C-alpha cells in the first residue's frame, strides 16, 4: 500500500507544471550560489567548481530550496484537509500509519528529487559563463554526491520530518511553516555567529544544516584538498549529522504515533464548518427586496476601483501563508541589518542609512520574485477560485477589476518596502545611530525606483501585461519570472551591459557613495524611470485590452482593434506611451552612447587594442619630460565642468632631438588653445577616434632644451550615464576627485589604454604579455618615472576654485585661500619637485586641524563621517613621529587627509596630501581591534609613502609598487606593533594573507614572482608586505629600516629598482634562511 500511495503521489507531483519551475529555480540557485560562495571564499588556487564550494552550497541549502521544500511539503499531507479529500480518502481501507508514511516518503523523496536540480546547477557551472576556463577544475562528481548524501538528504529529511511533525501535532499550516522558519533562523544565527566570533563545538553541533561543521572542515583543508578532498565523516561534522538525523528520526516516529485519520481528519477549531441551517430557520425566508438606484458613471467606477483595491489588498494579506512569508522576509531584513550588515572592504560598519537600505539589493531577487508570484496569483484569483463566471458578468469594466488588483498588489509591495524602511530605522536606533537616519535616502531607496517600491510596481505591471496576453496563470508565472531571471543572468554574465535594456532598472542603483550620493546617476535614473513608467503604462493598458473576460478567446480575437475592453482614449494613450518609450530609448542612447558617457566593453576593448596597434611605436620614441606644471582649475561641480589652463614645462633629457610631441586628449576635454613656447603650431596629427594629437616642433627640441606647453581648455560631461562602471568621478556633484591627467593631456604613449588581460588581448589579435609592466631589463623603462613615464619630479603651482560650500584640494602647500562671488579659490605650491601623481578634488568637508611636531595636519571628511577622526589623527601623528624618529624628516610642513568616494582607488598619497576612500575606514566600526588596526595601519602607510616618494624617482619597471606601496606598508607594521600591540600586527598580516589567497584566484594572466610584481594589488600590497615582513623579521626592525634607508640614499642617482633593493637586503640575510626568502620572492608558490 505504501508503494502504491508513494507512486501515485510522486507521479501526480512529477507532472505538475510547478515541478519544472521549481527544478529550474534550483538549477539557477546551483549556479548562483556557486558563484557567491566562490567569491567570498578565501582560498589558494580555488576552482569555482571545487568540492569546498560545492560542500558549502549543499550545507547552506539555499533560500530557494528551503522555500520550495516548505511549499512542496506543505501540501503533501494538508491537501486532504484543504481540498476535503480526507472526507472520503480516510474512509478507504488503508492502514493509517502506512498512509502517513507513504505521504511522508512522497514528500521527502520529491524534495530529494527536486534538490537534484541544485546538483545539476552546480554541474552546469563551468558552462554558465560565471568564470573563465582556467578557474574550473574537473567536475568533482564523487564529492558532489557525497555532499548530497550527507548534507542535502539529511537536511531535507529534517525539514520534512519537522514539517510533518508540526502539522500532525498542531493541524495548522502556519505552525508548520513557522517551525521551518525557526530552523532556518537557527541555522543563520549559528552561521553568522561562527563567522563573527569563530567556530565553536556548540555552533558546529547546534547548526541544524551542518554548515558550520562543514566550514570547520573546509578551513582545515589545504588549498589542494579544497580542490579535491571529500569531507571526512569525522569530528564535529559526523556528530552534527548524527545528532540532527536522530532528531529528524525522532520527530518522524512521534508524528507517526500521533497520526490517525480520526484525529487528523477532524476539523480544526479555526475552520469549523458552519451549521448550514441555523436553528428554527428554513431556507429562503421571505424578505422584501427593495428597488435600488443603480449608477454606472466614470466617477462610480473610480470609486469602485478604490474599494475593490482595498478588498483585494485584504485578500492578499489575509492568508496565513502570506503572513509567514512576509515574516520570513522581515526577519531576514532584521537579521541582515542587525548582524550581517556591511562587511564591506574592511569589516563592520557604523549603522548608516545606506547600509540599512542595502537589504533591498541583497534580497531584491527574492522579493521581486515573490511579488511577481503574488501578482500572478492575484490577477488570476477569480479564475483560480472559479468565481470568474460570476464576476465576469458584473457590470464593471475590466479596467476597474484588473486595475484594482494592480493597485492592491502595488499596495502590498508598498507595505513590504515600507517595512524595510521601518526596520532599518528601528535598527539604526537600536545600534545607536539615531542621528544617522537619512529619511530622504530611505524614501529614495526603499520607496523609489532604485530597486525599491516603484521598481516592484514596474515588475507588477509586467506581470499584469503577461497575464493579459497569456490568460494562463502558469504561463504568466513562467514567463514573468523567467524574464526576470533571464535579465539578471544576461547582466551578470555580461551578455547585456546597457541599463536601458534592463527593464525597471536605473543606472547606479548599486553604486551609492556616502560622499557622492548617487551622483551623476541620480539624474539619469529619473529619465530611465520615466522611460520604464511609459513602458509600464503600455503594459497596464495592453493588459486591460488583452485580459480575457469570460471563456478563453483566441489570441487573434484579443488583438482586434475593436476590442472594447480599452476605450479609444486608452488605445491612443497606449500608442502615445509606446512612442514615448521608444523616443526615450533613443534619447537615452544618445545621451549615453552618443555623448560618449558609455561604451560597450567590447567596443572599448577594441578601441584600446586599436590604439595599441596604431601607437605602440610611441613607446620607443623619446618625448620631453615634465618638470614643472602651473595650472588653474575652475571647477563647477554642479555642471560637471572644469575650465582650466596649464603651463607644462618639459625638458628633453635625451641626447637626441625631439621633433614631434604627442599628446593624449582626455574624454570630454575641449582644448581651446594650445601654444608651444608661446607660439601656435598646427597639429600634424589629430586622431579624434583615439584622441591623439601630434605637433611638430619647429627646429626640434634639442638635448637639454625646454618646451613650455600652454593649454587653455575645458572639460564637461554632458548627457547621462548608462551603468555603474563609469562614475566620471573627476567631475561629480560632490566629492569630485581626479588625476591631473584627467584634465591636462599626457605626453607620449598612454599605457593606461593597454589591455592587460591576455584573454582580451588574444580576442583583439594582440600578442600575450608576460608582464603588465615593463620588464626589469627594459633600459628605457628603467629611466622612466613610475608615476608618469614622461615626467621627472615635478614642481609647480595649482590654483583651484570651486563652488562655495565645497573645498578645493590640490597637491602641495596651501598658500592662499579666498572666497568671492560664491566661489572658493585656493592656491597650492609644490616645491621642491615631487612625485608626479597629482590629484585634485572638490567636496563638502568638515575640517579638523591639528599640529604634530610642527607639521600642520588637516583632516577633511564628510560631515556625516566623524566616527574615526581621532583614530586618523593618531595614525598621522604616530606616522609622522615614526618617520621623524626612524627615517629622517617627514618631507612636508603640511599634510592633508581627505575622504574621497569609493569609485576611485582605495588610497592615494601625493604631495602634502593623502586621500582615502570612504569605505576604507571613515565610517568603519573600529571597536574591534582588527578594524582599528587596519584603519590605523593604512593611514600610517600613507605617511610613510610620502617620505618614500620624496627619496627619489621609482623606475617604471616590475617591482615598482613594491617600493611605492609594500615597503611603506611594511615599515608601518612597526608602528602598529609599537602602538597597538603585537595582536594588531598579526591581524593585519592575516588579513593580507587572506586577501592574497582570495585575490590570486582571480589572476587573469599568470601570477608573477614577487620580485617581478607587475602592479596588481594582491601581489605588492598583500604578498609583498608579507614577504618584506619576513625579511624584516629575519633582520630585525632596526637593521631592516637601516638597510632600506641606506639603499635609498645610495641609489638616488638613478630611478629605484626593487630588484636591486631586494639583492641588497638579501646579502644581509644569513645563507641558511635565504632559500626560504628566495622561494617566497622568486618563485610562484601556487600551492602552499
Partner 1 sequence: MKLEIKNFSKTYSNGVAAAKNINLTIHKGMFGLLGQNGAGKSTLMRTIATLQDADSGSIFFNDIDILKNPSALRKVLGYLPQEFGVYPNVSAQELLLHIADMRGIIKQSERKNQVDALLQRVNLYEVRKKNLDSYSGGMKQRFGIAQALLANPELIIVDEPTAGLDPMERNRFYNLLAELGENAVVILSTHIVEDVSTLCNDMAIIGKGEVLLTGKPSEIEISLSGKVWEKKINISEFESYKTKYKVISNRFHLGKMMVTVVANNLPDSAFYQKQPSLEDAYFNLLYTQE
Binding residues for partner 1, rule: CB under 8 A, are 271-274, 276-278, 281-296, 300, 303-304, 307-308, 311, 314-315, 318-319, 381, 384-387, 389-397, 401, 549-551, 553-554, 557, 564
C-beta closer to partner 1: residue 54 or 546: 546
In 3D, which of 602, 750, 625, 620 has the Cα closest to residue 690? 750
Q: How far is CA 919 from its chain centroid?
A: 13
CA–CA dist 613, 749 (Å, integer): 12
C-beta closer to partner 1: residue 92 or 390: 390
C-beta closer to partner 1: residue 273 or 1067: 273
In 3D, which of 977, 978, 995 has the Cα closest to residue 986? 977
Contact 559, 469 (CB under 8 A): no
Minimum Å distance from CB 562 to partner 1? 9
* C-alpha cell belonging to residue 188: 543563520
Minimum Å distance from CB 313 to partner 1? 12
Minimum Å distance from CB 19 to partner 1? 24
C-beta closer to partner 1: residue 298 or 1075: 298
Minimum Å distance from CB 298 to partner 1? 13
Minimum Å distance from CB 372 to partner 1? 21
Establish whether the linkage from the previous residue to 207 is cis, with ω within 30° of 0. no
Contact 954, 964 (CB under 8 A): yes
C-beta closer to partner 1: residue 290 or 682: 290
* C-alpha cell belonging to residue 347: 569589516
Minimum Å distance from CB 68 to partner 1? 23
C-beta closer to partner 1: residue 319 or 981: 319
C-beta closer to partner 1: residue 71 or 1063: 71
* C-alpha cell belonging to residue 304: 469602485
C-beta closer to partner 1: residue 282 or 561: 282
C-alpha dihedral sign at 437, 442, 444, 450: positive
Minimum Å distance from CB 567 to partner 1? 11
Minimum Å distance from CB 477 to partner 1? 20
Q: Give me the DSSP letters along 703-724.
A: TT-EEEEEEEEEEE--S---ST
C-beta closer to partner 1: residue 300 or 1076: 300
Contact 736, 842 (CB under 8 A): yes
Minimum Å distance from CB 9 to partner 1? 24
In 3D, which of 55, 60, 58, 56 has the Cα closest to residue 230? 55
C-beta closer to partner 1: residue 202 or 306: 306
C-beta closer to partner 1: residue 523 or 563: 563
Contact 835, 787 (CB under 8 A): yes
Minimum Å distance from CB 417 to partner 1? 23
SS (H, E, C) 139-158: CCHHHHHHHHHHHHHHHHHH
Minimum Å distance from CB 85 to partner 1? 15
CA–CA dist 96, 75 (Å, integer): 18
Q: Give me the DSSP letters along 790-834.
A: TEEEEEEEEEEEEETTSEEE-SSEEEEEEEETTEEEEEEEEEEEE
SS (H, E, C) 518-574: CHHHHHHHHHHHHHHHHHHHHHHHHHHHHCCCCCCCCHHHHCCCCCCCCCHHHHHHH
Minimum Å distance from CB 119 to partner 1? 37
Minimum Å distance from CB 391 to partner 1? 7
C-beta closer to partner 1: residue 222 or 389: 389
C-beta closer to partner 1: residue 7 or 555: 555
CA–CA dist 414, 421 (Å, integer): 10
The DSSP bridge partners found for residue 715 are 642, 669
* Phi and psi at residue 824, to the nearest 5°: -110, 130
Q: Give me the DSSP letters along 969-988.
A: HHHHHHHHHHHH-HHHHHHH
Residue 613: CB partners within 8 Å, gap ≥ 6? 765, 766
Amino acid at each position: 500500500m505504501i508503494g502504491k500511495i508513494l507512486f501515485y503521489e510522486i507521479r501526480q507531483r512529477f507532472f505538475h507544471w510547478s515541478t519544472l519551475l521549481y527544478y529550474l529555480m534550483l538549477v539557477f540557485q546551483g549556479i548562483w550560489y556557486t558563484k557567491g560562495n566562490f567569491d567570498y571564499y578565501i582560498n589558494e588556487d580555488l576552482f569555482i567548481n571545487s568540492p569546498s564550494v560545492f560542500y558549502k552550497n549543499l550545507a547552506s541549502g539555499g533560500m530557494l530550496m528551503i522555500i520550495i521544500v516548505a511549499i512542496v511539503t506543505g501540501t503533501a499531507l494538508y491537501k486532504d484537509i484543504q481540498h476535503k479529500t480526507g472526507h472520503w480518502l480516510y474512509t478507504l481501507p488503508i492502514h493509517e500509519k502506512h498512509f502517513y508514511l507513504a505521504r511522508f516518503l512522497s514528500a521527502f523523496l520529491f524534495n530529494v528529487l527536486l534538490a537534484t536540480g541544485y546538483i545539476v546547477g552546480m554541474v552546469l557551472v563551468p558552462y554558465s559563463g560565471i568564470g573563465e576556463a582556467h578557474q574550473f577544475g574537473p567536475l568533482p562528481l564523487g564529492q558532489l554526491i557525497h555532499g548530497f548524501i550527507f548534507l542535502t538528504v539529511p537536511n531535507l529529511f529534517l525539514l520534512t520530518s519537522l514539517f510533518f511533525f508540526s502539522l500532525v501535532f498542531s493541524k495548522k499550516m502556519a505552525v508548520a511553516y513557522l517551525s521551518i522558519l525557526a530552523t532556518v533562523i537557527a541555522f543563520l544565527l549559528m552561521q553568522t555567529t561562527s563567522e563573527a566570533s569563530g567556530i565553536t563545538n556548540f555552533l558546529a553541533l547546534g547548526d541544524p544544516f551542518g554548515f558550520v561543521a562543514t566550514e570547520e572542515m573546509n578551513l582545515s583543508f589545504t588549498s589542494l584538498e579544497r580542490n579535491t578532498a571529500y569531507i571526512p565523516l569525522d569530528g564535529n561534522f559526523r556528530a552534527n549529522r548524527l545528532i540532527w538525523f536522530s532528531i529528524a528520526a525522532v520527530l518522524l516516529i512521534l508524528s507517526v504515533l500521533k497520526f490517525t485519520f480520526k484525529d487528523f481528519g477532524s476539523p480544526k477549531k479555526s475552520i469549523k464548518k458552519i451549521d448550514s441551517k441555523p436553528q428554527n430557520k428554513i431556507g429562503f425566508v421571505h424578505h422584501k427586496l427593495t428597488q435600488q438606484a443603480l449608477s454606472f458613471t466614470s466617477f462610480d467606477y473610480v470609486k469602485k476601483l478604490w474599494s475593490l483595491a482595498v478588498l483585494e489588498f485584504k485578500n492578499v494579506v489575509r492568508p496565513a501563508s502570506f503572513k509567514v512569508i512576509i515574516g520570513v522576509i522581515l526577519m531576514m531584513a532584521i537579521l541582515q541589518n542587525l548582524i550581517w550588515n556591511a562587511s564591506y572592504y574592511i569589516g563592520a560598519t557604523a549603522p548608516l542609512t545606506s547600509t540599512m537600505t542595502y537589504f533591498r539589493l541583497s534580497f531584491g531577487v527574492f522579493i521581486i520574485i515573490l511579488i511577481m508570484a503574488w501578482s500572478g496569483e492575484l490577477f488570476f484569483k477569480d479564475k483560480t477560485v472559479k468565481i470568474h463566471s460570476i464576476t465576469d458578468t458584473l457590470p464593471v469594466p475590466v479596467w476597474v477589476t484588473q486595475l484594482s488588483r494592480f493597485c492592491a498588489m502595488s499596495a502590498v509591495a508598498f507595505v513590504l518596502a515600507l517595512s524595510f524602511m521601518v526596520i532599518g530605522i528601528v535598527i539604526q536606533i537600536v545600534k545607536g545611530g539615531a542621528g544617522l537616519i537619512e529619511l530622504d535616502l530611505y524614501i529614495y531607496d526603499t520607496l523609489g525606483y532604485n530597486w525599491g517600491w516603484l521598481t516592484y510596481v514596474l515588475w507588477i505591471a509586467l506581470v499584469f501585461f503577461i497575464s493579459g496576453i497569456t490568460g494562463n496563470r502558469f504561463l504568466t508565472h513562467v514567463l514573468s519570472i523567467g524574464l526576470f531571471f533571464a535579465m539578471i543572468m544576461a547582466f551578470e554574465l555580461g551578455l547585456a551591459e546597457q541599463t536601458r535594456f534592463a527593464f525597471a532598472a536605473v543606472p547606479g542603483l548599486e553604486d551609492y557613495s556616502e560622499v557622492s550620493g548617487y551622483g551623476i546617476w541620480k539624474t539619469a535614473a529619473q529619465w530611465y524611470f520615466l522611460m520604464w513608467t511609459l513602458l509600464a503604462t503600455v503594459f497596464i493598458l495592453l493588459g486591460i485590452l488583452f485580459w480575457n473576460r469570460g471563456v478563453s478567446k483566441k489570441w487573434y480575437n484579443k488583438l482586434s482593434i475593436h476590442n472594447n475592453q480599452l476605450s479609444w482614449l486608452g488605445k491612443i494613450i497606449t500608442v502615445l506611451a509606446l512612442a514615448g518609450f521608444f523616443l526615450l530609448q533613443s534619447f537615452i542612447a544618445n545621451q549615453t552612447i552618443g555623448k560618449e558617457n558609455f561604451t560597450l566593453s567590447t567596443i572599448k576593448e577594441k578601441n584600446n587594442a586599436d590604439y595599441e596597434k596604431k601607437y605602440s611605436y610611441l613607446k620607443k620614441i623619446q618625448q620631453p619630460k615634465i618638470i614643472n606644471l602651473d595650472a588653474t582649475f575652475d571647477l563647477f561641480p554642479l555642471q560637471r565642468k572644469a575650465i582650466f589652463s596649464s603651463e607644462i614645462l618639459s625638458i628633453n633629457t635625451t641626447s637626441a632631438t625631439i621633433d614631434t610631441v604627442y599628446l593624449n586628449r582626455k574624454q570630454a576635454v575641449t582644448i581651446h588653445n594650445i601654444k608651444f613656447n608661446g607660439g601656435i603650431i598646427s597639429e600634424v596629427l589629430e586622431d579624434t577616434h583615439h584622441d591623439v594629437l601630434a605637433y611638430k616642433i619647429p627646429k626640434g627640441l634639442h638635448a637639454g632644451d625646454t618646451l613650455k606647453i600652454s593649454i587653455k581648455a575645458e572639460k564637461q560631461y554632458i548627457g547621462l550615464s548608462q551603468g555603474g562602471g563609469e562614475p566620471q568621478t573627476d567631475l561629480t556633484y560632490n566629492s569630485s576627485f581626479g588625476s591631473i591627467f584627467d584634465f591636462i593631456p599626457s605626453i607620449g604613449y598612454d599605457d593606461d589604454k593597454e589591455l592587460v588581460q591576455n584573454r582580451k588581448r588574444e580576442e583583439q589579435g594582440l600578442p600575450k604579455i608576460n608582464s603588465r609592466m615593463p620588464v626589469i631589463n627594459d633600459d628605457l623603462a628603467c629611466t622612466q618615472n613610475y608615476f608618469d613615464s614622461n615626467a621627472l619630479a615635478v614642481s609647480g603651482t595649482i590654483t583651484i576654485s570651486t563652488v562655495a560650500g565645497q573645498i578645493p584640494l590640490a597637491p602641495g602647500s596651501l598658500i592662499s585661500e579666498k572666497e568671492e562671488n560664491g566661489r572658493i579659490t585656493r592656491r597650492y605650491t609644490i616645491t621642491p619637485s615631487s612625485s608626479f601623481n597629482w590629484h585634485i578634488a572638490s567636496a563638502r568637508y568638515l575640517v579638523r586641524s591639528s599640529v604634530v611636531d610642527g607639521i600642520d595636519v588637516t583632516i577633511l571628511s564628510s560631515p556625516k563621517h566623524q566616527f574615526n577622526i581621532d583614530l586618523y589623527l593618531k595614525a598621522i601623528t604616530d606616522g609622522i613621529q615614526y618617520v621623524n624618529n626612524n627615517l629622517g624628516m617627514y618631507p612636508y610642513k603640511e599634510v592633508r587627509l581627505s575622504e574621497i568616494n569609493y569609485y576611485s582607488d582605495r588610497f592615494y598619497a601625493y604631495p602634502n596630501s593623502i586621500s582615502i576612500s570612504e569605505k576604507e575606514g571613515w565610517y568603519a566600526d573600529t571597536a574591534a581591534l582588527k578594524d582599528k588596526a587596519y584603519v590605523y595601519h593604512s593611514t600610517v602607510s600613507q605617511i610613510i609613502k610620502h617620505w618614500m616618494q620624496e627619496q627619489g624617482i621609482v623606475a617604471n619597471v616590475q617591482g615598482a609598487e613594491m617600493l611605492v606601496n609594500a615597503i611603506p606598508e611594511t615599515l608601518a607594521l612597526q608602528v602598529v606593533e609599537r602602538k597597538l600591540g603585537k595582536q594588531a600586527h598579526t591581524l593585519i598580516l592575516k588579513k593580507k594573507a587572506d586577501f592574497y589567497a582570495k585575490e590570486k584566484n582571480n589572476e587573469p594572466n599568470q601570477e608573477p614572482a614577487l620580485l617581478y610584481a607587475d602592479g596588481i594589488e594582491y601581489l605588492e600590497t598583500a604578498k609583498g608586505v608579507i614577504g618584506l615582513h619576513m625579511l624584516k623579521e629575519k633582520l630585525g626592525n632596526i637593521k631592516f629600516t637601516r638597510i632600506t634607508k641606506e639603499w635609498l640614499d645610495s641609489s638616488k642617482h638613478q630611478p629605484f629598482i626593487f630588484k636591486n633593493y631586494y639583492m641588497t637586503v638579501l646579502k644581509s640575510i644569513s645563507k641558511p634562511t635565504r632559500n626560504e626568502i628566495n622561494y617566497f620572492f622568486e618563485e610562484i608558490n601556487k600551492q602552499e
